[in-house]
Amino acid sequence: MVQAIDLPRNETGIRVALERLTEAFGARCQTGQAIREQHGHTTTWIKTQAPDAVIMARSTDEVSQIVRVCADLAVPVIAYGTGTSLEGHVNAPAGGVCIDLTEMNTIIDVHSEDLDCVIQPGVTREQLNTHLRDQGLFFPIDPGANASLGGMAATRASGTNAVRYGTMKDNVIALEAVMADGTVIRTAQRARKSSAGYDMTRLLVGSEGTLGIITELTLRLQGIPEAIRSARCSFPTVEAACRAVMATIQFGIPVARIELLDAMSVRAANTYSKLTLPETPLLLLEFHGSEAGVTEQSDTFADIAEEFGGTDIAATSSTEERNRLWQARHDMYWACLALRPGARGISTDVCVPISRLADCVGQAQAKAEEMGLIAPVVGHVGDGNFHALLLIDMENAEEVAKADDFVGWLNDLAISMEGTCTGEHGIGQGKRPYLTRELGPATRYMAAIKAALDPDNIMNPGKVLSD
């Protein structure tokens, strides 16, 4: 495990806070080691830093009440959703109280005429979409994991559909949040657009619980398209696949998903998902629209793909075939892990302008090979975002160090290509040094905002900004 730096603990404050919270919440203020460790643990290689207590909040009032106790004593509070974040977001390097929001999982309102809904933060993506299906609606952001929507907003998540539907920043209309002093605010009304004041919605989206705790979300919804068609196409090189992606997007085909698997990932998928795909770089696509529209989109894509050397083009409107293909895509994490049993998967998350993507992926593949690392690549290539999944033996310190070097090297490469160290996972603990390298002086103003809104640094301390 790597990179977890402990911060100074306010022992007296924490002790008194736990007394007061136990008085208020009784046995619901949980301090058992197992639950604490579970809440400091994420899908990451950063060591667990458990909070001192965990409370499953049941209402905005309860969240506010907990934050007020902690604010009074300058004790950290850490919001927790499903624990699927990847950069140590829910660790408690200075201890403190974890507010678990999973029990706040009510879908409060669905306004089908306005294509929006109001939900509590613990509602998960799959729960929401199951609820919406009968009304012919869906929420498009799909980061893979069945994450909570509060957590997805807090990390500015995106995923396979972002090329068409945007990221969480584009799909949150308004938020309710508990600020560091316990005040409950609403960032915006339910209107679809507004020029009223500073964009507090988008300031909280991606703030990773460091400026406030999201307690309610108003989300944009989409109508389920009349028709969905998926396609796949193999390419001789990553370069050729990326050129086809650029041409597809420039041509204005409104692809709903366009995903790249490199040859190693395709091999992993073939084995894990029992497919027989050619083991060369592959694009997987999905088209949303009318029956005629998706056929036209997929035919136009096929023409473009052929120009760039695409082969084995197959398109289908069969739900079963489509689900099989996308299930394989969603299972890529497990498929890649199976390439090296016992290894842990460490995911990079760089995102570059799409014109630099082929070069960036190519250099990453070459560097991994040169360093003797196994790193299959999958990518949301319509956005220029890709993940190299490093398969690491965590018992081998040398290999862990090498992986850490690779991650740093790749982040710096992406930054040098006008890209970012994180397209969708967030900064958390792990990427803080890269944020400074990426945005330089702008981080000073981020720190000023943090200090203004959370002067005692109690909201998820040790995340996003370097100390």
Please tell me the count of residues contacting a copy of itself according to CB under 8 A.
Answer: 98
Q: Which amino acid is at 400?
A: V
Residue 14 CB, shortest distance to a copy of itself, in Å, is 26
CB of 339 to a copy of itself, least distance (A): 27
Residues 35-54 that bind a copy of itself (CB under 8 A): none
* 43 vs 84: CA distance, rounded Å: 6
Considering the complex, state which of residue 22 and residue 295 has its C-beta at the smaller distance from a copy of itself. Answer: 295
Q: Name residue, tokens 């919406």.
A: 132
Regarding 215 and contact with a copy of itself (CB under 8 A), the answer is no
For 117-127, b/e burial (b = at least 16 CB within 10 A) is bbbbbbbbbeb
Task: Verify binding: residue 155, a copy of itself, rule CB under 8 A.
Answer: yes
**According to CB under 8 A, which residues from 104 to 143 bind a copy of itself?**
111-116, 136
Q: CA-CA distance, 374 to 162, in Å (whole number)?
A: 27
d(CA 244, CA 241): 5
| Length of the chain measured in residues | 467
Taking residues 441 to 460 in sequence order and writing x for each that binds a copy of itself by CB under 8 A, - otherwise, the string is xxxxxx-xxxxxx-------
- Per CB under 8 A, 31 contacts a copy of itself: no
Among 59, 146, 183, 319, binds a copy of itself (CB under 8 A): 183
Q: Which stretch binds a copy of itself (CB under 8 A): 64-72, 91-99, 305-313, 383-391?
A: 383-391
Beta pairing class for 212-220 and 257-261: unpaired
Cβ nearer to a copy of itself, comparing 260 with 269: 260
Whichever of 68 and 324 has its CB closer to a copy of itself, that residue is 68
Residue type present at position 95: G
Nearer to a copy of itself, 58 or 169 (CB): 169
**Of the candidates 24, 107, 249, 338, which one interacts with a copy of itself according to CB under 8 A?**
249
Q: Is-contact 100 55, C-beta < 8 A?
A: yes
Least distance from C-beta 104 to a copy of itself, angstroms? 20
Torsion angle in degrees (nearest 10) through CA of 63, 68, 69, 72? 160
Of 64-72, 206-214, 304-312, 315-323: span binding a copy of itself (CB under 8 A):
206-214
Touching a copy of itself, residues 388-417 (CB under 8 A): 414-415
Edge-to-edge strand ranges of the sheet holding 282-289: 311-316, 227-234, 282-289, 257-261, 377-380, 385-392, 344-347
Nearer to a copy of itself, 157 or 335 (CB): 157
The two tokens of residue 20 are 């007061």
Q: How far is the CB of 418 from a copy of itself (least distance, A)?
A: 4
Q: Which of 226, 303, 307, 321 binds a copy of itself (CB under 8 A)?
A: 226
Contact flag: residue 254 with a copy of itself (CB under 8 A): yes
Query: Looking at beta carbons only, is 310 or 426 nearer to a copy of itself?
Result: 426
Q: Does 193 bind a copy of itself (CB under 8 A)?
A: yes
Nearer to a copy of itself among residue 123 and residue 446 (C-beta)? 446
Task: Mark residues 337-356: x for contact with a copy of itself by CB under 8 A, - for none.
Answer: ------------x-xxxxx-
d(CA 194, CA 272): 47
Of the pair 372, 440, the CB lying nearest a copy of itself is at 440
Least distance in Å: CB of 10 to a copy of itself? 23
Distance CA 85, CA 44 (A): 8
Residue closer to a copy of itself (CB basis): 13 or 225: 225
Q: Cβ neighbours of residue 112 under 8 Å, at least 6 residues apart?
A: 135, 136, 137, 221
Tell me which of 2, 9, 129, 166 binds a copy of itself, using CB under 8 A: 166
Nearest to 53 by CA among 38, 43, 64, 42: 38
DSSP category for residue 452:
H
193 CB-contact burial (10 Å; exposed 0-12 / middle 13-18 / buried 19+): exposed
Site for a copy of itself contains 34 (CB under 8 A): no
**What is the rounded (10 degree) CA torsion for 139, 141, 147, 153?**
-100
Q: Which of 235, 276, 236, 278 is nearest to 258 (CA)?
A: 235
Q: Does 293 bind a copy of itself (CB under 8 A)?
A: yes
Query: Could you tell me if 25 and 103 are in contact, meaning their C-beta atoms sit under 8 angstroms apart?
Result: no
Residue 214's identity, in one-letter code, is I
Identify residue 108 by its one-letter amino acid code. I
For a copy of itself, which residue of 58, 190, 324, 340 counts as binding (CB under 8 A)? 190
466 binds a copy of itself (CB under 8 A): no
